[in-house]
Amino acid sequence: MLELNQVQLESFIRSELEENPALERYDFSEEILTDEAILKSIAPQELKPGSTDREFTRSLPPGSQDQTDWMEFATSSDSLQAHLRGQLLSELPSEFHGLIEYVTESLSSTGYLETTAEEAALAMGTSLEDAERVIAELKLCEPAGVGAQSLQECLALQLRDATTLEAKLARQIVVDRFDDLVHRSVRTLARAYRALPEVIERAFAEVAKLNPHPGQDFCSHSGHRPGSFSRAVTPDLTFTRTEQGWQIEVRGADPTQFTVNRAYSDRLGILENKINPDKEEKQHLAEHVDRAKRFIDSIGHRNKTMTRIGEYLVTEQAGFISTGDVKHLRSLTRSRLALALGLHESAVSRATADKFVQLANGDVIAFEMFFNSALRVQQAIREILEHENPNRPLSDERIAAMLAEQGINIARRTVNKYRDKSRLLSSRRRKSA
Cβ(213)–Cβ(111) under 8 Å?
Answer: yes
- Of 323, 349, 371, the last residue of a domain is 371
Q: What is the dihedral of CA 10, 15, 19, 20, to 10 degrees?
A: -10
Residue range 194-211, pLDDT digits in tens: 989 999 999 998 988 888
Residue type, 202: R
**What is the Cα 402 distance to its own chain's centre?**
33
Q: Do the domain assignments include residue 132? A: no
Alpha-carbon span 401 to 251, nearest angstrom = 43
- State residue 125's pLDDT score: 79
CATH code: domain of residue 384: 1.10.10.60
Q: Do the domain assignments include residue 138? A: no
Which of 12-26, 53-67, 246-260, 328-342 bottoms out in mean pLDDT, i.e. has the lowest? 53-67
> Is residue 245 within a helix (H) or strand (E), and if so which, with residue range?
strand 245-250
Cβ(418)–Cβ(381) under 8 Å?
Answer: yes
Confidence of residue 393 (pLDDT cuts 50, 70, 90): confident
264 and 383 housed in the same domain:
no
The proportion of the chain whose per-residue pLDDT surpasses 70, expressed as a percent, equals 76
Burial class (CB in 10 A: 0-12, 13-18, 19+), 318: middle
365 and 306 housed in the same domain:
yes
Cβ(24)–Cβ(259) under 8 Å?
Answer: yes
388 and 339 housed in the same domain:
no
Cβ density class 289-305: b for 16+ within 10 Å, e for less: bebbbebbeebeebbeb
Q: Do the domain assignments include residue 129? A: no
* pLDDT at position 299 over 90: yes
- In Å, how far are 34, 83, 166, 360 from 143, measured between CA atoms? 46, 9, 21, 23
Which of 65-79, 251-265, 277-291, 329-343 bottoms out in mean pLDDT, i.e. has the lowest? 65-79
Q: Do the domain assignments include residue 322? A: yes
User: CA angle, corner 46, sides to 40 and 47, nearest 5?
Assistant: 60
366 and 251 housed in the same domain:
yes
- State residue 420's pLDDT score: 52
Q: Which residue has the higher pLDDT, 328 or 378?
A: 328
How many domains is the chain partitioned into structurally?
3
* pLDDT at position 181 over 80: yes
The proportion of the chain whose per-residue pLDDT surpasses 90, expressed as a percent, equals 29
* pLDDT at position 297 over 90: yes
323 and 271 housed in the same domain:
yes
Confidence of residue 224 (pLDDT cuts 50, 70, 90): very low
Q: Do the domain assignments include residue 92? A: no
Bridge partners of 25, per DSSP, are 258
Q: Region 148-175: what's the mean pLDDT?
A: 91
Sign of dihedral through CA atoms 39, 44, 45, 47?
positive
Cβ(319)–Cβ(22) under 8 Å?
Answer: no
pTM, entire model: 0.49
- Of 318, 341, 371, the last residue of a domain is 371
Alpha-carbon span 12 to 292, nearest angstrom = 13
328 and 268 housed in the same domain:
yes
pLDDT, averaged across the chain: 78
HSE value, Cβ hemisphere, 13 Å, CA-based, for 323: 9
Cβ(247)–Cβ(258) under 8 Å?
Answer: no
Confidence of residue 159 (pLDDT cuts 50, 70, 90): very high
254 and 355 housed in the same domain:
yes
Alpha-carbon span 108 to 147, nearest angstrom = 9
Pick from 125, 135, 127, 72: nearest CA to 104: 135
Q: Do the domain assignments include residue 201? A: yes
Cβ(282)–Cβ(271) under 8 Å?
Answer: yes
- State residue 40's pLDDT score: 54
Q: Which residue has the higher pLDDT, 4 or 339?
A: 339
274 and 339 housed in the same domain:
yes
Domain limits at 172? 161-209
User: CA angle, corner 187, sides to 182 and 428, nearest 5?
Assistant: 60
350 and 420 housed in the same domain:
no
Cβ(95)–Cβ(109) under 8 Å?
Answer: no
* pLDDT at position 51 over 80: no
Task: Report phi then psi at 279, rounded to 5.
Answer: -65, -40
347 and 389 housed in the same domain:
no
* pLDDT at position 104 over 70: yes
- Of 371, 392, 410, the last residue of a domain is 371
Cβ(144)–Cβ(160) under 8 Å?
Answer: yes
Q: DSSP of 12-51, one letter per residue?
A: HHHHHHHH-TTEEE--TTSPP--HHHHHHHH-GGGGS--H
Confidence of residue 433 (pLDDT cuts 50, 70, 90): very low
- In Å, how far are 58, 60, 68, 270 from 64, measured between CA atoms? 12, 7, 9, 50
Alpha-carbon span 22 to 360, nearest angstrom = 39
193 and 278 housed in the same domain:
no
Q: Region 3-7: what's the mean pLDDT?
A: 81
* pLDDT at position 242 over 90: no
Q: Do the domain assignments include residue 18? A: no
* pLDDT at position 344 over 60: yes
Q: Do the domain assignments include residue 302? A: yes
- State residue 324's pLDDT score: 83
**Beta-strand relationship, 356-358 and 258-260:** unpaired
Q: Which residue has the higher pLDDT, 40 or 358?
A: 358
166 and 286 housed in the same domain:
no
Pick from 204, 223, 233, 229: nearest CA to 158: 223
